[in-house]
């Protein structure tokens, strides 16, 4: 196996974090809709945006690692 193919495989494996981020964001907003449907007066939106930001950050870290593998090493 040459270096270019190993880099592509490594970058693809690093992008698995993006799948987890998508699942996490879906869970955050499904819980937000569920909470607001049960109690419309609840102030849970800031917590939902915090959960969204944390879930998205993990995906962006995985994407950054994939770019590092592709273009730096």
Q: 17 pLDDT exceeds 90?
A: no
The domain limits of the chain are 3-71
What φ, ψ does residue 56 adopt, rounded to 5°? -70, -30
Q: What is the mean pLDDT of residues 48-66?
A: 92
Task: Report pLDDT for 43.
Answer: 92
What backbone phi and psi angles, to 5 degrees, belong to 22? -65, -40
d(Cα 23, Cα 50) in Å, to the nearest integer? 16
Rounded Cα distance between 5 and 13, Å, is 12
Determine the CATH number of domain 3-71. 1.20.20.10
- Per-residue pLDDT tens over the stretch 24-50: 999 999 999 999 999 999 899 999 999
Per-residue confidence band for 73, with pLDDT thresholds at 50, 70 and 90:
confident
CA separation for the pair 34, 36 (Å, rounded): 6
Q: What pLDDT, on a 0 to 100 scale, did the predictor assign at position 34? A: 95
Q: Provide the mean pLDDT of the chain.
A: 92
CA distance 52 to 8: 29
């Amino acid at each position: 196996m040459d270096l270019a193919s190993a880099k592509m495989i490594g970058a693809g494996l690093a992008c698995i974090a993006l799948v987890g981020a998508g699942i996490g964001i879906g869970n955050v907003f499904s819980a937000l809709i569920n909470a607001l449907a049960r109690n419309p007066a609840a102030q849970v939106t800031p917590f939902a945006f915090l959960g969204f930001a944390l879930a998205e950050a993990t995906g962006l870290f995985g994407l950054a690692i994939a770019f590092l593998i592709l273009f730096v090493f």
